[in-house]
A and B are shown apart, each in its own frame.
Chain A
Amino acid sequence: MDSFLEEDEEAPVVVVRGKRRRSPASQAVLQPPLPLPFLPPQPGKGGALVSSNEHKLNFKKSKETCLSYIQDALLQKQWKRAAEFLTCYVESLEKDYSREHIGPSEMIWRIGTEILWHHSQSSMKEFNCFMEQMKTLGVKRYLKVCLEHVFHLLCNGQIDEAYQNLSLAESWRFGEQTAIQDKEMKLIQAYRGLLDYCSWSKQKKILLEHGEDGFAELTIEQEMHGYFRKAAVNLKEIIKIPGVWDVFVKCYVDLLEFYGDHNEARQVLNEYAYNSKFPANPNAHVYLYHFLKRQGESKKSLISALKILHDIVPSHELMIDFNTMLQKSKKRKKHQLGLEVIFAALDYAGWKENAKAWSCLARQVKQIVISETHLDWIKHEWNSRKDWWPAFHFSHYLAKRNWQGNKSLSYEKALVAGILLGKDCKYFKYVLHQGCKAQLKRFWMLKKFVTRHNPVYLRISGRPDSSVQP
């Protein structure tokens, strides 16, 4: 406790005084005057008249007031002012009666950390020092503080120090661990595994760069293998627990693939993607898909992997790949699925102006219309969309905006609009008019095409029409 007080006294004071330090007489003068009236007089100094209960109450009250000042300063980014108040707040540690969720020591840790992150004159050394003190303040919070310390070191590029801290924290034992501490310990191990992996990949890089040195290669390989084992053990542990572990899974699979353990890698990825206890993470499916692709798996398994991704996230960016893959397939069923996929993707607001997706749809629709074999597919897709796609995609306003923004997008959209909504559609008419005015040849073609296939529109929209071609 004493050491903490000293330390805390030191850190902000150095900070406050800035460049002019070491002149004790002027210190008091140089301390900037607090912009607010000071705290209520500290209880205890008030004399023996105050009963102990009242004393406690007063103390609590001034503690709260002080805390609200700190909070206020923090929310206004007045780090120096907050630091000054924090030095007062440290007194609250003295009589920590609270049984609250977050006690004063945790508050000091949180506030102090925040201040030291942002204070213009804080240094990494001070931060480390502060963190070391904070670790000793609460047993229950030790691991959490360690983790946060490591995070800060990592973000500041001090990988080695972070690694040391992680090792130290990993070896920490104190009685029985709570569930939260258990989780934190697992995270600490996992991050250590991640850092081991980083070292491993560094060595790998060196190895690949200077591949031919016989002797050096051997030692490096040995070192690498050491890192691999350490990393693999830790990473393997955490990815068994339900959660989002993209980083760790990626690293682990990379390690396994390098050493040729493809079965294990596949198992890990399958588990990560398909275990129902895990959240429906699109990345899990993406990783699996990329793995299968790397492994040169059959189209069928790739398609089935993407089909599942399509089912959970129809708006994923891989849907374009999926669509082209399905288009290339020879089966009709796949073509139909491809149409479904691209229609579903274009339902989403994020795809609204995606020229690639629109060209995929335009191409496929065009194919179908020309062949005139599977108009019912389009009809099927269009049925659930005809009441809102016109307003969502093919309004006059959008026609203008698309034309100004991206001519090829508006070309593709106009084609789709012309087929789905007929040649009288506002979007189609506007774009065609503009295109013809600009004397672009492909718009003439477009006009011809749509006019020729106008009856298709009538069939798709399900209107009774006598002139339907056989």
Chain B
Amino acid sequence: MEFPAVLFPSYFGAGPPREEGGPSPVAGWGEHGQVLEGGPGRRQVQPAFVPLRGATGERWEAGGAAAVPVLLPSAGCWIPSPAPQDILYHSGPGRKLRAGKSGATLDFAKQMGHFFVDHPEDAFGSLGRLLHKNFYLGNAKLKRPARNSTIRMTALVEDINRLEARRGCPRQHLASRLRWFSHLCRDWLFEVPLGLLADCLHEELMQQWSDLLFDDSLTGGALAWLPLPDRGTRTPVGRLVHPGGQAMNHLYFQDVVLEELPHTRGSPAEFELSGRIRQVAAARVDGQDFVGVRSDYHCGVWRVPAKRGAVPTVLQVIHTDVPASCLTVSPHLPGELSVCTQSGTVYLWNVETGLQQLRHDPQTMFFRDHSPWRWSDFTAHPRVLTCADRTGLQCLDARAPKKCHFDLFKVGEEAGCQQGERVVLPMYLGRAHPSQYLVTTQFSVYVLDERLPLVPVLKWAHMMKAPPLFANVMPGKPGRSHKVLLGASHTQELLLLQYRGGSQSACQLAGTPQKLHDMAGCLQHLPTQLPRRHHLLQQRLSAPAAGLAATLQEDGPHKSMLVFQLSEAGDVFCQRLTHKAAQPPAPPSRDEATTAPGSSPLFEAPASSPHALGSEGEEEEEQTFYLPNLEVIIHDEEEDMGTPAPLEEAELLQEPCASPQPSPAVPSPAAALRYRRWLRALFRTWKEPPRHTWLPSLSQRRLFTRRDLQGTAGPSSLQRQVRQRLRQTMQERGLIQRWEPLAIQPPPLPQTLELAEGLDPLSARLTAAWAGDWEQWWEDRTSFSVAQRQRALRERRRRQKRAKGRRSLSASFTSSLTYQSELSELSDVGPSLRSPGRPLVLSQEGSPRAGSPPVHSLPPSPAPDEALLSSQSLRCRGIPKERRKTLRDYLSVWAEGPPEPPEPLGSQASQLCIPSSQSQLCIPSSQSQLSSASQPRRKRPRMGF
């Protein structure tokens, strides 16, 4: 083991870092650092100098346009980790919108509810026993003496049960009895003291927040690659060890064949663990792979013989009281690992002899730092371990840990650190050089030689946006450079560095650092998605990275590198880099023209900028309105997925023939196929996102069966026709400007659709607008023919009379308009309303009305809502009597929900307002909706005077 005869010059000082600074975006460029006389030209007349940085390195080029998924997405929805919006309190509707969007809502009330239900004994145990006598659960009435000290709970329980059915109803707070009860006993009923609970909650929120800023529990990464020796076969095989499952608590050992695109072979060996997997570390000793797995409170070690088809076996599992922060596997001795916990304890863990505590120190080593993060790794000496915290690294001899130790790295002047610099990830580079060590901080990356402690033999400012939490080293053969990959979590950055030296010659950084594709970059190569899906896909692909693994593959003269990246969602993406032999005059068009996509800052913007969030909100809103129509389309698309695929493939296959040099900016056909497969599997696992309760919507499922509401079974022939036409137009990439009457059967389109779906004013309007005849619709709507109104009125009066007996008085106060006033007001307002809403373009564009009057006129039958509501129709639909009232209640509540049509101007409204004391039932027909919506506005002037 040689030591370089001459090292690069450097100053050495002791003490705290002197250099002020912060992250600088370009600090790593344009510096040679130092030079050293040496190199091959000893005998020449001129001495030759080599630089510390800037020497030529190997050339590696990205093989594809973007990273490609290796595994199919696992079943089960991924729960994204909380975003800042989930923790920060925002008042107003913005918060609500956001809360519905992200998967991980920190719904405290709900969580408490779960706790109460799951652990009633802990929550209410002793008080329940105390109050046992005072709570009466029977149905019988209470007698007088008992009444003084006992309350009847049956009604309360009923209320609670009813509450469940009314979930989402804006009036649920009307359950006054419940409110009264909770108001009375929320302070004392459950036994977890509120103060304590608040403290715990606060602590948890602080923890979540600090994890958002920087989550060090992921340090080291949860992905490992175990190469298998290839004996005679052409294609190398390896084993990928990765976590998966909804909570990332399943450990998989998956065989992967490294062909052009790596693909899995066989089904993986799976282990279910009792916690989220934070780190997977592996090392090969004596032809066996030892895989250490760390979750917060458990660490386990598996042994996998490096043979094909070998079954991984669990060797041992340990439990820690404090979360473990580090687990590394010894590359020297089988079954030996080192474990650190956040309490500052370092253990040497031998599977045979058990745990040996090497150090226990809650304080940091060189100066005070609040972080409880600790790390430990092995060194060239199997009995000497390093022990690291944020302030530096020390080496401990396991045989005498108290006495024998020395400092390997200090954040300070010794290594030329900046102020505020902290150790992020130390790693033993034993595979590259037995005595080398890698230390990354948020600003720089250092290579240390344990034979020359404290002085880094290599230092370089890595300029990454987030601190590198993952690293991987691929040793180069003698004379070639070692490759180091650095990976960040939240930004998914991947950086490839090369260095050489350490034994014969001093360490040098070779070549320039290179950025590799990240997972989010493949979004633009995926087929276009619907906005909602696009958003979900984007969220999934930009999930923080959780691990990194890489392997070098040598196939004769062709050398390539495969880099695997794991995301928190459990996706594993892979990219291949190919080694290019040195060709001094590289064709300039090659490296210049190819823009590796996805890495450009332009594409990052939509994911993070607050503006984008806002627009997503709008998009969401739109989506909910269109949803009934959209769903049909999505469904078709999914069903038809099998059919268009071959066509696309054929196209893609032709592409390379057309242009002899396929630009790497486009994924290869195989990669495109992979993307599609992955997408298909992904969408299969995605169920329709749950409707959130913040919108005042009621589940109809409890009220009616589907058949009740649907007049005719299955889509009508017209619907089918329309769909077909839509699909055809989409294939032709055309545009439907209006439904041409020729293509549609004589029965008017809107009417049929309305009947099928149950018309609400919005969809009627949209249908009309879609057909290009919105103006006509508006006119029809505002100047409703008197005859129709009369009929509607008559019908309503009849029902009113029937209902009068049953209605409670309070309900009658909701509306105080006579029908007469409503009628006159509408006929007055009509023409004036038309002008502001009337689109100019339409009037210039000829008259769509004239072209197809029969299609667009509204049906002369009573408004479908009414038809639906009339007791006759309800009866004939088989809705039982007691449900009819519920339905009416429901619809009357719901009538307030939809957005209001344009309101009349205030001045007009005030003249028009003729209040009347006659009570009237609020019926959700289109007219009364309009009136009830504009009613509060009209009332205001009266109250003012």
Interface residues, chain A, with chain B CB atoms under 8 Å away: 18, 32, 35-37, 65, 67-69, 71-72, 74-81, 100-102, 106-107, 109-114, 117-118, 120-121, 148, 151-152, 154-155, 157, 159, 179, 183, 187, 190-191, 194, 198, 202, 241-248, 250, 277-283, 286, 313, 315-317, 347-351, 354, 384, 387-388, 391-392, 395, 397-398
Do A243 and B11 form a contact, CB below 8 Å, given A351-B1, A392-B333?
yes
* Residues in chain A near residue B50, CB distance under 8 A: 155
Please pick, from A72, A102, A112, the residue contacting B24 in the complex, using a CB distance under 8 A: A102
Please pick, from A111, A241, A317, the residue contacting B26 in the complex, using a CB distance under 8 A: A111
Which B residue's beta carbon lies closest to that of A205?
B45
Interface residues, chain B, with chain A CB atoms under 8 Å away: 1-14, 18, 20-22, 24-27, 29-37, 45-51, 54, 286-287, 331-334, 353, 380-383, 399, 414, 430, 434-435, 451-455, 463, 495, 512-515, 585-586, 588, 591-593, 595-596, 599-602
A sample of 7 inter-chain contacts (CB < 8 A) reads A36-B600, A111-B26, A113-B30, A277-B12, A278-B12, A279-B12, A316-B1
What CA separation (Å) do A183 and B10 show in the bound complex? 10
Which B residue's beta carbon lies closest to that of A398?
B286
Question: Is there contact, CB below 8 Å, between A315 and B451?
Answer: yes
Nearest chain B CB to A206 CB, angstrom units: 10
What CA separation (Å) do A120 and B22 show in the bound complex? 33
* Residues in chain B near residue A278, CB distance under 8 A: 12
Question: Is there contact, CB below 8 Å, between A71 and B9?
Answer: no
* Residues in chain A near residue B22, CB distance under 8 A: 100-101
Do A155 and B35 form a contact, CB below 8 Å, given A36-B595, A77-B591, A183-B11?
yes
Chain B binding surface, main DSSP class: loop
Question: Is there contact, CB below 8 Å, between A348 and B455?
Answer: no
* Residues in chain B near residue A79, CB distance under 8 A: 591-592
Question: Is there contact, CB below 8 Å, between B11 and A282?
Answer: no
Do A243 and B10 form a contact, CB below 8 Å, given A36-B600, A77-B512, A157-B46?
yes
Closest 10 A/B residue pairs (Cβ): A113-B30, A350-B1, A110-B30, A75-B515, A350-B434, A397-B286, A151-B32, A154-B49, A114-B29, A35-B595
Question: Is there contact, CB below 8 Å, between A37 and B602?
Answer: yes
Do A110 and B9 form a contact, CB below 8 Å, given A155-B49, A282-B3?
no
Do A69 and B51 form a contact, CB below 8 Å, given A74-B29, A78-B595, A148-B32?
no
* Residues in chain B near residue A71, CB distance under 8 A: 25-26, 463
Question: Is there contact, CB below 8 Å, between B37 and A247?
Answer: yes
* Residues in chain A near residue B6, CB distance under 8 A: 246-247, 250, 283
What CA separation (Å) do A79 and B27 show in the bound complex? 17
* Residues in chain B near residue A388, CB distance under 8 A: 333, 382-383
* Residues in chain B near residue A350, CB distance under 8 A: 1, 380, 434-435
Nearest chain A CB to B466 CB, angstrom units: 14
Other A-B pairs beyond A100-B24, A397-B287, 4, CB < 8 Å: A32-B593, A113-B29, A154-B35, A244-B8
Question: Is there contact, CB below 8 Å, between A69 and B21?
Answer: no
Question: Is there contact, CB below 8 Å, between B334 and A283?
Answer: no
Question: Is there contact, CB below 8 Å, between B20 and A101?
Answer: yes
Question: Is there contact, CB below 8 Å, between A155 and B45?
Answer: no
* Residues in chain A near residue B287, CB distance under 8 A: 397
* Residues in chain B near residue A283, CB distance under 8 A: 3-7
* Residue picked from B2, B9, B515, most chain A C-beta under 10 Å: B9
* Residues in chain A near residue B286, CB distance under 8 A: 395, 397-398
What CA separation (Å) do A315 and B433 show in the bound complex? 13
What CA separation (Å) do A212 and B588 show in the bound complex? 56
Chain A binding surface, main DSSP class: helix
What CA separation (Å) do A69 and B599 show in the bound complex? 10
Question: Is there contact, CB below 8 Å, between A67 and B45?
Answer: no
Question: Is there contact, CB below 8 Å, between B332 and A102?
Answer: no
Question: Is there contact, CB below 8 Å, between B592 and A242?
Answer: no
What CA separation (Å) do A376 and B547 show in the bound complex? 50
Question: Is there contact, CB below 8 Å, between A76 and B601?
Answer: no
What CA separation (Å) do A114 and B513 show in the bound complex? 11
Nearest chain A CB to B383 CB, angstrom units: 7
What CA separation (Å) do A80 and B593 show in the bound complex? 9
Do A348 and B380 form a contact, CB below 8 Å, given A114-B512, A155-B51?
yes
Do A313 and B451 form a contact, CB below 8 Å, given A155-B50, A395-B286?
yes
Which B residue's beta carbon lies closest to that of A107?
B26
Which B residue's beta carbon lies closest to that of A144?
B31
Do A110 and B29 form a contact, CB below 8 Å, given A78-B595, A118-B512?
yes
Please pick, from B334, B452, B514, the residue contacting A280 in the complex, using a CB distance under 8 A: B452
Please pick, from A75, A157, A398, the residue contacting B513 in the complex, using a CB distance under 8 A: A75
Do A18 and B24 form a contact, CB below 8 Å, given A159-B47, A244-B9, A244-B10?
no
What CA separation (Å) do A81 and B592 show in the bound complex? 7
Nearest chain A CB to B21 CB, angstrom units: 5
* Residues in chain B near residue A392, CB distance under 8 A: 332-333, 382
Please pick, from A72, A241, A397, the residue contacting B599 in the complex, using a CB distance under 8 A: A72
* Residues in chain A near residue B595, CB distance under 8 A: 35-36, 76, 78, 81
Do A120 and B586 form a contact, CB below 8 Å, given A78-B595, A281-B452, A384-B399?
yes
* Residue picked from A35, A244, A384, most chain B C-beta under 10 Å: A244
Nearest chain B CB to A305 CB, angstrom units: 15
Question: Is there contact, CB below 8 Å, between A282 and B452?
Answer: yes
Which A residue's beta carbon lies closest to that of B18?
A179
Question: Is there contact, CB below 8 Å, between A317 and B3?
Answer: yes
Do A109 and B30 form a contact, CB below 8 Å, given A120-B585, A157-B46, A349-B381?
yes
What CA separation (Å) do A302 and B214 show in the bound complex? 53
Question: Is there contact, CB below 8 Å, between B452 and A18?
Answer: no
* Residue picked from B21, B434, B592, most chain A C-beta under 10 Å: B592
Question: Is there contact, CB below 8 Å, between A247 and B9?
Answer: yes
* Residues in chain B near residue A36, CB distance under 8 A: 595, 600, 602
What CA separation (Å) do A277 and B513 show in the bound complex? 34
* Residues in chain A near residue B515, CB distance under 8 A: 72, 75-76
Which B residue's beta carbon lies closest to that of A151?
B32
Nearest chain A CB to B921 CB, angstrom units: 57
* Residues in chain B near residue A67, CB distance under 8 A: 25-26
Which A residue's beta carbon lies closest to that of B23?
A101
* Residues in chain A near residue B21, CB distance under 8 A: 101
* Residue picked from B1, B32, B332, B333, most chain A C-beta under 10 Å: B1
* Residues in chain A near residue B585, CB distance under 8 A: 120
What CA separation (Å) do A428 and B650 show in the bound complex? 63
Nearest chain B CB to A245 CB, angstrom units: 6
What CA separation (Å) do A283 and B6 show in the bound complex? 7
What CA separation (Å) do A109 and B24 show in the bound complex? 14
* Residues in chain B near residue A313, CB distance under 8 A: 3, 451
What CA separation (Å) do A432 and B45 show in the bound complex? 55
What CA separation (Å) do A202 and B8 show in the bound complex? 22
* Residue picked from B27, B32, B596, B599, most chain A C-beta under 10 Å: B32
Question: Is there contact, CB below 8 Å, between A280 and B54?
Answer: no
* Residues in chain B near residue A76, CB distance under 8 A: 514-515, 595-596, 599
* Residues in chain B near residue A277, CB distance under 8 A: 12, 14
Which A residue's beta carbon lies closest to that of B331?
A349
Which A residue's beta carbon lies closest to that of B61?
A77
Please pick, from B14, B46, B334, B380, the residue contacting A349 in the complex, using a CB distance under 8 A: B380
Do A242 and B13 form a contact, CB below 8 Å, given A77-B591, A151-B51?
yes
Nearest chain B CB to A294 CB, angstrom units: 15
* Residues in chain A near residue B593, CB distance under 8 A: 32, 35
Nearest chain B CB to A69 CB, angstrom units: 7
Question: Is there contact, CB below 8 Å, between B7 and A117?
Answer: no
What CA separation (Å) do A359 and B353 show in the bound complex? 32
Nearest chain B CB to A4 CB, angstrom units: 16
Please pick, from A198, A247, A286, A384, the residue contacting B36 in the complex, using a CB distance under 8 A: A247
Question: Is there contact, CB below 8 Å, between A194 and B452?
Answer: no
* Residues in chain B near residue A286, CB distance under 8 A: 3, 5
Nearest chain B CB to A183 CB, angstrom units: 6
Do A157 and B48 form a contact, CB below 8 Å, given A68-B601, A110-B31, A315-B435?
yes
Which B residue's beta carbon lies closest to that of A109?
B30
* Residue picked from B31, B45, B585, most chain A C-beta under 10 Å: B31
Nearest chain B CB to A98 CB, angstrom units: 11
